Chains A and B, each alone.
Chain A
Amino acid sequence: MQTQSLSQPSLKTQLRALFVIARKDWKVFWRYPLNAVSNIVQPIIWITPIYFMGKAFSTDGQALGFAAYSGTGDYMSFILLGTVLTNYILTVFWGMGYALKEDMDAGVLESNWLTPVSRLLILIGRTLTSLLTTTITSLIMLAIAGALFGFKPTGNTLAAFLTAIPMLLGLYGFGFAFAAIVLLMREANTLVDVSSFLVQGLSGTNFPVQSLPYWLIPVAMMLPLTYGLDAVRGILLKTNTLLPINVEVVLLIVFMFAMLWFGSWFFYRVERRVRTLGTLGQH
């Protein structure tokens, strides 16, 4: 019995390539166990100042100001949920760009590009392990942070999970476009750090976007992530939502198709340009 070779592309070979990429990343991730610890501890460190800051704004333990905007005074559950979703956003949105940069620096991008595997598939493969490790570390983080600060979701977890799926798939489109920019610019760190902070800030990871200055609210409303975070919180924490949840879900689905189309179109266009220029291997 012969195994299907990668040089005869089929669904089976493509899936095998995906699995190989994911297994390689899985091995690399666990070779540095401190990274896993860091993934768990980092978000807790980042939200601790907010926990104590919230206390400075609270009367008798009640964040009444926050409740007036969001519909819940439980600001820590609000922020913890935002933090978990942000972990996934970081994985999908920026993970592919970072992976490309790593391959460029290690000098393996060109040889990977020569394999008979779809380039978008290579990018997707680089996120699979991250998605799994993000799930593991986020659950542990949520358990620890829940014990420290309290986490009280009251809504339907399955509905919230299903709502997050089109948001995540749409993010793959964003990720493709971002990976294309990394191919062009060959510098990812500043780009990732700055854009990640801006997107997190404006889509309401840590606060309801209703509290943004009035001139920033239209910018937040243009970000599909805003609706994803808002809808998931609305379902799980019963917070006030910007639009009815059904409308937000429809927007997320539309965004998913639009971004997947645009992201892959943009990526292939840039990739062709980079190959024409011969700058693929440069960093």
Chain B
Amino acid sequence: MQTSLTPRSLGQPGILSDVRAFQAILGREWRIFTRYPSWMIALFIWPLIFPMLYILTARALSGPDGSGLAVFMKTTGASDFIGYIVIGTTVWMWQNIVLWDVGFSLRNEQMRGTLESNWLSPTWRFSYLLGHTGPQIVSMLMFISITALEFGLLFGVKLHGSVWMILLVMLAAIPSIYGLGFAFASLVITVKEANAFVFLIRGLVMIFCGITFPISLLPGWMQSIAKWLPQTYLIHGMRAAAFSNAGITELLPDLIPLLLFGTFWLVVGYSTFLWMERRARRTGAIGQY
């Protein structure tokens, strides 16, 4: 008797074929990412120059004798103003990059004219978004590590806490940051030109989440808005973990809202994707741009 072992075809959907499709998307995205060396340059330069604008402004506000800095330290409770600003700006950059990368991933496929044909393959369609997310998380981890290294080596920013606690806060924030990205990616497919929405969302983070200042300085109504943005807790939690040696107990007031927001945004992200998928099939607008 002769038996032949055939690999499980994508035409027979199952968990294994979904995993294989996910791997293929992951591989393709990684290849695209490494093909453009300008991204690698940006990976080293952006972590330095974006916070620098705020750091240099902070230097100017400090004055030649550092009198302003003493006031800032007292107001914020921070021991290191550079580290304080770098954490805020890095979180902002993280959300910004996710919006552009994950948020525009399906749109880019649409612009290249490959979205419709991909959509026809018998794969779990959400894996297109997840496939984009994998390399994005890896590149963001590299980005944040490079930021920490550069500011540690060049500016002497010292960690006064546990790296594990920082990672824990970041891990708790991943569902909300990427859930928002998923929801955004689905909306972009529908409304096409969405740059203004990116500006709006990243603008909210910039104004309300205290990237360079404590939110206690905001007027009451702005503080109320800040409490509804997960990035506020992420920035606060990372600062506490990095510079105040906060443990899990001290971080719980940040971790719990982050997880709740994460669940909310993942559900919103997935639901929006399903809605967009149904709508796209009904209206036949998936290939239009």
Contacts and interface: CB of A to CB of B under 8 A. Distances in A.
A10 to B, nearest CB: 40
Contact of B207 (A37, A45, A54, A56): A45
A207 interface: yes
Contacts of A45: 199, 203, 206-207
A53 B61 contact: yes
Contact of B71 (A48, A59, A70, A197): A59
A211 B210 CA distance: 24
Interface string A39-70: 00110011011101111111100011111111
Contact of B63 (A69, A198, A201, A206): A69
Contacts of A54: 61
A65 B73 CA distance: 14
Q: Mostly helix, strand, loop or mixed at chain A's interface?
A: helix
A48 B218 CA distance: 11
Given A34-B196, A37-B196, A200-B53, A52 B42 contact: no
Nearest to A63: B61
Contact of A57 (B56, B69, B206): B69
Contacts, number: 132
B61 A65 contact: yes
B194 to A, nearest CB: 10
A56 B60 contact: no
Contacts of A66: 60-61, 63, 68
B199 A57 contact: no
Interface in B61-100: 61-69, 71-72, 75-76
Interface string A14-52: 000000000000000000101101100110011011101
Interface stretch (B44-52, B133-141, B278-286): B44-52
A207 B41 contact: no
Residue among A45, A55, A65 with the highest chain B CB neighbour number at 10 A: A65
A99 B62 CA distance: 40
Contacts of A212: 56, 59
B213 interface: yes
A190 interface: yes
A49 B54 contact: yes
Residue among B60, B61, B207 with the highest chain A CB neighbour number at 10 A: B60
Contacts of A187: 38
B217 interface: yes
Nearest to B75: A56
25 contacts: A37-B196, A42-B203, A49-B207, A53-B61, A53-B212, A56-B75, A56-B217, A57-B72, A64-B68, A65-B61, A65-B65, A68-B65, A69-B63, A75-B61, A190-B42, A193-B42, A194-B45, A197-B52, A201-B52, A201-B53, A206-B53, A207-B60, A211-B56, A212-B59, A213-B59
Interface of A: 32, 34-35, 37-38, 41-42, 45-46, 48-50, 52-59, 63-70, 75, 79, 187, 190-191, 193-194, 197-198, 200-201, 206-208, 211-213
